[in-house]
C-alpha cells in the first residue's frame, strides 16, 4: 500500500533555532524505497512503480541487512561541481528500455538521498519525533555510491541559505526536531526556503515553434488548480533542450483536444489545447499582478506528480 508523503510548506523565513534540523534542498525525484525480505520496490511521490528505472538504487536496497525498511528520500543526479541537477536527472527519468537505462547509468549515475525512516523491521517509526527517526536512520549507516543520508545542521538557517545561494543550490528544507511524520499533509513543521522562484505547473496547451523550432513546441501554456479548476498562469517558451523538445512534441501531440482545459482567462488564440495530464517544473522571476509568471523557464517534466495536486504556492521573495 502506498504511503502519501509528508510535504513541506514554502516560506521566506530565515530564523531557525536549535529546535530545527536544516538540510540543503535537493533538486530530484521524491521517492519511497521499500524492502520486505528479498523484495525491493522504489515508488514515486504519486505511487508509480520505479523498479528498474534506477537499478543502482534497487541493488543497494537489496543488499541492506535490515529485512524490512520503508525510507523517504529523493533520487538525485549531481553535476561535476557536486550540485543537484534536475536537468541531468531528466535523462534518467524518461527511459523506456533496459539498454537505454544501462547506457545512461554509465553517463549519469544517481544517488538516493535518504532523509527519513518510516518503518523498520516490523515497527512503524512514524509516531516517533523527527529527531528520533533520524537517529535510527543514522544507525543504519546507509552510505555508498548509490545512496546516502545528507549532511545537516541544527539552527543557523540564514548561514546555510547564504551558503546554498553561493553554491547555486535551490534552497534549504527545515524540519522541527519534535515533529511527527504526517502522511499526505503539507505541514508547517516542515518548511522549504528557496533561492529562486520555482514550482510545478500543469501543461494545458502549446503553441507551434517557428524557424529553428519548426515542427516542435514553441511555448507551453501552463496553469495550476484552484478549487478544482485549471487557472491559466502564462506561457513558458525558454529552457528547452533538443531532447526535451522532442519529448514534449511527442507526448503533447497524443494529448490534443478541441476545448480549452482552462477556466476563466485563456491563452492566446493560436494555442493548441491538450488534456492536462503532464506536469512541468518551471523556474520564474515572480508572479505578476495579473497572476501570470514573469520570465518563466522550463526545467523538466515531473511524471512523479499528479496534475490535480498542482496548486499555486504562496508568494515569497526568493533569495
The residues annotated with a catalytic role in the active site are 25
State the cell numbers at 68. 524490512
Question: In which element (H, E) is residue 250 found?
Answer: helix 242-253
Is residue 144 within 8 Å of residue 111, measured between CB atoms? Answer: no
Closest CA to 6 of 236, 183, 209, 198: 183
Relative to beta strand 217-226, strand 286-287 is unpaired
State how far the Cα of 192 lies from the Cα of 174, in Å rounded to an integer.
6
Chain centre to alpha carbon of residue 302: 7
* SS3 state of residue 141: coil
Give the C-alpha separation, 8 to 43, whole Å.
19
d(CA 236, CA 10): 22
Q: How many whole angstroms separate alpha carbon 78 and alpha carbon 87?
A: 10
Amino acid at each position: 500500500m502506498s504511503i502519501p508523503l509528508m510535504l513541506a510548506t514554502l516560506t521566506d523565513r530565515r530564523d531557525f533555532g536549535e529546535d530545527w534540523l536544516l538540510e540543503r534542498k535537493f533538486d530530484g525525484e521524491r521517492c519511497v524505497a521499500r524492502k520486505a525480505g528479498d523484495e525491493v520496490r522504489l515508488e514515486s511521490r504519486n505511487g508509480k512503480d520505479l523498479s528498474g528505472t534506477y537499478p543502482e538504487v534497487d541493488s543497494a536496497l537489496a543488499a541492506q541487512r535490515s529485512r524490512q525498511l520503508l525510507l523517504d528520500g529523493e533520487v538525485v543526479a549531481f553535476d561535476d561541481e557536486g550540485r543537484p541537477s534536475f536537468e541531468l536527472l531528466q535523462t534518467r527519468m524518461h527511459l523506456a528500455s533496459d539498454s537505454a537505462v544501462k547506457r545512461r547509468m554509465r553517463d549519469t549515475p544517481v544517488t538516493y538521498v535518504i532523509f527519513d525512516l518510516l518503518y523498520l523491521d516490523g515497527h512503524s517509526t512514524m509516531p516517533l519525533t523527527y529527531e528520533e527517526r533520524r537517529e535510527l536512520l543514522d544507525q543504519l549507516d546507509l552510505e555508498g555510491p548509490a545512496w546516502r543520508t545528507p549532511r545537516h545542521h541544527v539552527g543557523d538557517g540564514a548561514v546555510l541559505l547564504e551558503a546554498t545561494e553561493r553554491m547555486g543550490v535551490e534552497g534549504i528544507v527545515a524540519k522541527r526536531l519534535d515533529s511527527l511524520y504526517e502522511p499526505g499533509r503539507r505541514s508547517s513543521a516542515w518548511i522549504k526556503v528557496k533561492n529562486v522562484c520555482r514550482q510545478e505547473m500543469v501543461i494545458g496547451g502549446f503553441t507551434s515553434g517557428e524557424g529553428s523550432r519548426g515542427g516542435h513546441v514553441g511555448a507551453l501554456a501552463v496553469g495550476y488548480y484552484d478549487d478544482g479548476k485549471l487557472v491559466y498562469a502564462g506561457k513558458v517558451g525558454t529552457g528547452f533542450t533538443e531532447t526535451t523538445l522532442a519529448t514534449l512534441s511527442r507526448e503533447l501531440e497524443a494529448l490534443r483536444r478541441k476545448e480549452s482545459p482552462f477556466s476563466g482567462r485563456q491563452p492566446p488564440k493560436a494555442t493548441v489545447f491538450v488534456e492536462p495530464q503532464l506536469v512541468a517544473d518551471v523556474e520564474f522571476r515572480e508572479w505578476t499582478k495579473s497572476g501570470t509568471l514573469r520570465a518563466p523557464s522550463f526545467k523538466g517534466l515531473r511524471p512523479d506528480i499528479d496534475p490535480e495536486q498542482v496548486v499555486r504556492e504562496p508568494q515569497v521573495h526568493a533569495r
